[in-house]
A = this chain, B = another copy of it.
Amino acid sequence: MKDRSATGCRALSDLRDLLGRAHVLTDGATDPFARDWTGKWRADPLAVLRPATTQEVAEIVRIAARHDLSVVPVGGNTGLVGGTANTGALMVSLERMSAIREVRPEAGVMIVEAGAILSDLHAAAAAHDLVFPLTFGARGSARVGGFLSTNAGGSNVVRYGSTRGLVLGLEVVLADGRVLDLMSELRKDNSGYDLRDLFIGAEGTLGLITAAVLRLLPAPHHHATALAAIRDLPAALSLLRRLQSATDGAVEAFEYMPRTYMRALAHHRPDLRQPFAIHDHTVMIDLGGLSRPLVDTLEEVLSEAVEAGEVHDATIAQNETQRARIWEMREAAAEITFKRLPIVDNDVALPLDGVAAFIDRMHERLAAIDPAAETLIVAHLGDGNVHLTVYPDDGCRLEDIREMVEDVTVGLGGSISAEHGIGLSKLSTMTRRKDPVALDVMRAIKMALDPQDRMNPGKVVPKA
């Protein structure tokens, strides 16, 4: 057991009075919350707290203020940017606040507590023949508060948008312990500033999200899923546009996997037998029809592309098993990426027509810095979102490589974080690359809403 300051002890005593001993975890009991799944980021909190109500969360924030402690929310711990790293903070886990309070199919909404797990939301929506479309590999662990605080993306943003587009209402505990009630179920609301979208993606630095109203959509019943080897990236984008037109926008995923990725996949996951030889460029396509089967449409569009010399080979899933296997090829990315260390991992967004230029320029400049470096790329091509992992030849060029990727990204009008957020890991990048006026505006907002810098301090917005 650790030595503690008198302040820490008094805070723990207040917290035990509030929550009961069982819900104030200290020392070894905090381990599962303190280590994120990349193993790169650690937390050393004073305690992990497990409140059962919004009022208890609010009281925690007031106790933190009294003892001058920080408050750091922790969800499923599936983040990649050190968003919950801290020393001596009160970490708040909402795992006891995981209720799906209400599903209202007629209104197309689901009212949930922020500790609910994403895959549970999927199941609850499916029971009403509806869908909460946000999805990504970590859906079995990721919690509402986490995916809202990071404005999570995933594989079907091309159809449904990121988290922000799927949220109607929020409840937030503010830095002063007050509860902000934005639990609207409305499609339209122009009554003042858009506070909701400010808290979404703020990574807990402006307040702690405790509940949300989420949008539900009609469930597509007719999936058509394919893997296609394609000539180049422009051909891929043109294929995407033709698929959008031919299906009235039913493209649910359009994922790019180049040779390096397919090769790594063959190496690490031989069980996922690839349907054709490895080509330079492969895309995974998933269509989701509401009213009609789309397999024929997919086949037609792909056949035309084959005749035009744009697609070299293609396979369409004939059943759910084959479909699941194609998806697994894409979702194995997270697992494969971390097989080797050190890495420089990037999550950049480009204008849709800038992805090819990004990949070319980046490889050219990487060859100059570290000729033996290898890369692994997988991209949400429909969103211009490239996940690029660089494996340097030695560990001495990490910073040079990082800055080179930033250079190329910003030079093409891109963003240095598409969907993973900033946390701690991208703070220096924010300082270097974000418009200084934008940084000042963010600082002014942070100062206005959290003048004591109590809520997840040191994340997202670098100090001036």
Residues of A within 8 A of B (CB): 104, 106-109, 150-151, 153, 157, 161-162, 164-165, 174, 178-182, 184-195, 197-198, 200-202, 206, 218, 237, 241, 244-250, 289-292, 297, 349-354, 380, 382-385, 413-422, 426, 430, 433-435, 437-442, 444-445, 447-449, 460-461
Protomer copies = 2
Q: How far apart sit A241 and B245, CA to CA, in the bound complex (Å)?
A: 22
| 7 pairs of A and B residues whose beta carbons are closest in the complex | A448-B448, A197-B197, A188-B418, A185-B351, A444-B448, A189-B415, A106-B353
Does A438 lie within 8 Å of B349, measured CB to CB?
Answer: no
Q: How far apart sit A335 and B191, CA to CA, in the bound complex (Å)?
A: 25
Does B445 lie within 8 Å of A351, measured CB to CB?
Answer: no
Smallest CB-CB separation from A412: which chain B residue?
Answer: B185
- Report B-chain residues with C-beta under 8 Å of the C-beta of A289: 248
- Report B-chain residues with C-beta under 8 Å of the C-beta of A297: 291
Q: A106-B237, A181-B435, A248-B248 are in contact. Are A194 and B200 (CB under 8 A)?
A: yes
Does B109 lie within 8 Å of A351, measured CB to CB?
Answer: yes
Q: How far apart sit A445 and B162, CA to CA, in the bound complex (Å)?
A: 25
Smallest CB-CB separation from A416: which chain B residue?
Answer: B191
Most central of A157, A178, A430, A445 by chain B CB within 10 Å: A445
Q: How far apart sit A115 and B445, CA to CA, in the bound complex (Å)?
A: 28
- Report B-chain residues with C-beta under 8 Å of the C-beta of A188: 153, 157, 162, 349, 380, 383-385, 415, 418-419
Q: How far apart sit A113 and B441, CA to CA, in the bound complex (Å)?
A: 22
Smallest CB-CB separation from A219: which chain B residue?
Answer: B245
Does A438 lie within 8 Å of B198, measured CB to CB?
Answer: no
Q: A192-B460, A246-B290, A291-B297 are in contact. List 19 more A-B contacts (CB 8 A).
A: A107-B351, A153-B190, A180-B438, A186-B349, A187-B352, A187-B383, A188-B380, A188-B384, A189-B417, A190-B415, A190-B417, A190-B419, A191-B416, A191-B434, A192-B438, A193-B201, A195-B438, A218-B249, A445-B448
- Report B-chain residues with C-beta under 8 Å of the C-beta of A444: 448-449
Q: How far apart sit A195 and B195, CA to CA, in the bound complex (Å)?
A: 10
Most central of A165, A194, A237, A354 by chain B CB within 10 Å: A194
Q: Which residue in B161, B190, B247, B353 is a CB contact (below 8 Å) of A420?
A: B190
Q: Which residue in B350, B430, B435 is a CB contact (below 8 Å) of A182?
A: B435
Does A430 lie within 8 Å of B351, measured CB to CB?
Answer: no
Q: How far apart sit A248 and B157, CA to CA, in the bound complex (Å)?
A: 17
Q: How far apart sit A190 and B383, CA to CA, in the bound complex (Å)?
A: 13
What are 18 residue pairs bridging A and B, where the CB atoms are less than 8 Å apart in the complex? A106-B237, A106-B352, A108-B352, A161-B165, A162-B188, A178-B440, A188-B349, A188-B385, A188-B415, A190-B419, A191-B416, A191-B417, A192-B430, A193-B461, A194-B201, A218-B245, A444-B449, A448-B448
